[in-house]
Amino acid sequence: MATHRCCALWSYCGRRWSRVMRCCRLSGLCSSWPSGPLGARHLSQEKPATETHFGFETVSEEEKRGKVYHVFESVAKKYDVMNDMMSLGIHRIWKDLLLCKMRPFPGTQLLDVAGGTGDIAFRFLNYVQAQHKGKQKRQLRAQQNLSWEEIAKKYQNEEDPLGGSRVVVCDINKEMLKIGKQKARAQGYKAGLAWVLGDAEELPFDDDKFDVYTIAFGIRNVTHIDQALQEAHRVLKPGGRFLCLEFSQVNNPLISRLYDLYSFQVIPVLGEVIAGDWKSYQYLVESIRQFPSQEEFREMIEDAGFEKVTYESLTSGIVAIHSGFKL
């Protein structure tokens, strides 16, 4: 964890410096300023590449971006089947629980960042549609004197079965979005769903736009987690909710030993056999170990400006759902 903190600090300093430099350059202040925190080099020289981690490897931030892109480009076609195989379907329960926590209502505007092949978005659409139908039924039951024609008419006139809810899936990877769109077409999802290519660190949306922001198994892959959290805060409406489903820290030592064995001995093998890609699944298990603990991540969410930040560990802490509000 010390490595994680060190990388985060170094990456933070680097970005702060490049922001100062960008402002100065824009205001014409800095033509004679040195170009790095140590102040010894001339502007024409390159800024040192800020280091971060890609699994257990230390790489430059640019390299990490490219490598993460390559991982998901490579696994996209086998992504869904791999998740079912690796977790024996348990990832579906975790995603359902995320929706239960969200409890969206007809009208909710959701942004699902790093939404990949659409698992969260499809669950959201099912949920709000069922909610809306239930509400409609209750309203009709309350109106005791309607004839069957009037009831049929009310059902047929219903233009928006989602009651105004919308979900935007935003992901940086074209291949993941392509598979998501194919799945949506095959499963008949169309209304209330949009696909946007975009970076969690620089979201292509206005301020105060969404009621809920979700990110499931995505934030671990982002280079500057603090920047992604700030963006989440920016695009949420006041009162809006941040929800993150991510791998976390297992607290039971016995389960932790078994989980480690399973992760390092089985998952890359499954990756090779099913997706023909050992390396991407080695990255998956390594990146899980690099991600901050439940408490550390809670603090990071608070640092981004969220309030009432809580978390719930699931399956002995293999994953956790963090929640926070923009108040």
Ligand X SMILES: C[S@@+](CC[C@H](N)C(=O)[O-])C[C@H]1O[C@@H](n2cnc3c(N)ncnc32)[C@H](O)[C@@H]1O
Ligand Y SMILES: COc1cc(O)cc(C/C=C(\C)CC/C=C(\C)CC/C=C(\C)CC/C=C(\C)CC/C=C(\C)CC/C=C(\C)CC/C=C(\C)CC/C=C(\C)CC/C=C(\C)CCC=C(C)C)c1O
- What residues form the annotated binding site for S-adenosyl-L-methionine? 117, 171, 199-200
Q: Does 91 bind ligand Y (CB under 6 A)?
A: yes
Distance between CA 231 and CA 200 in Å, rounded? 7
Q: Which string of x and - marks every residue 282-321 that binds ligand Y (by CB under 6 A)?
A: -xx------------------------------x--x---
Residues 61-90 that bind ligand X (CB under 6 A): 68, 72
Rounded to the nearest angstrom, the gap between the alpha carbon of residue 159 and the centroid of all alpha carbons in its chain is 31
Q: CB 29 → ligand X: shortest distance, Å?
A: 31
Distance between CA 293 and CA 19 in Å, rounded? 29
143 versus 182: smaller Cβ distance to ligand Y: 182
Among the listed residues 43, 59, 266, 274, the single contact to ligand Y using CB under 6 A: 266
Question: Is the separation of the CB atoms in 243 and 98 below 8 Å?
Answer: yes
- Taking residue 206's Cβ as centre, other Cβ atoms within 10 Å add up to 9
Distance between CA 8 and CA 61 in Å, rounded? 11
Q: Does 243 bind ligand X (CB under 6 A)?
A: no
Answer positive or negative: Cα dihedral of 271, 275, 278, 284. Answer: negative
Q: Does 216 bind ligand X (CB under 6 A)?
A: yes
Amino acid of residue 296: E
113 versus 236: smaller Cβ distance to ligand Y: 113
Q: Does 265 bind ligand Y (CB under 6 A)?
A: yes
Residues 98-137 that bind ligand Y (CB under 6 A): none
Q: Which string of x and - marks every residue 157-186 that binds ligand X (by CB under 6 A)?
A: --------------xxx--x----------
Distance between CA 294 and CA 240 in Å, rounded? 21
Q: 118-154 b/e with 16+ CB inside 10 Å = b?
A: bbbbbbbbebbbebbeeebeeeeeeeeeeeeeeeeee
Q: Which string of x and - marks every residue 6-45 that binds ligand Y (by CB under 6 A)?
A: ----------------------------------------
Distance between CA 96 and CA 83 in Å, rounded? 15
Binding segment toward ligand Y, per CB under 6 A, in 9-17, 31-39, 81-89, 230-238: 81-89
Distance between CA 82 and CA 224 in Å, rounded? 27
Q: Does 227 bind ligand Y (CB under 6 A)?
A: no
Distance between CA 279 and CA 273 in Å, rounded? 12
Among the listed residues 36, 104, 218, 268, the single contact to ligand X using CB under 6 A: 218
For residue 146 the two structure tokens come to 């309607």
Residue 87's binding partner among ligand Y, ligand X, none (Cβ under 5 to 8 angstroms by kind) is ligand Y
Q: Does 217 bind ligand Y (CB under 6 A)?
A: yes
Question: Is the separation of the CB atoms in 290 and 55 below 8 Å?
Answer: yes
Distance between CA 170 and CA 198 in Å, rounded? 6
Residues at the contact surface with ligand X, assessed by CB under 6 A: 68, 72, 113-116, 119-120, 171-173, 176, 199-201, 216-218, 221-222
Residues at the contact surface with ligand Y, assessed by CB under 6 A: 71, 75, 79, 82-83, 86-88, 90-91, 217, 255, 258-259, 261-262, 265-267, 280, 283-284, 315, 318
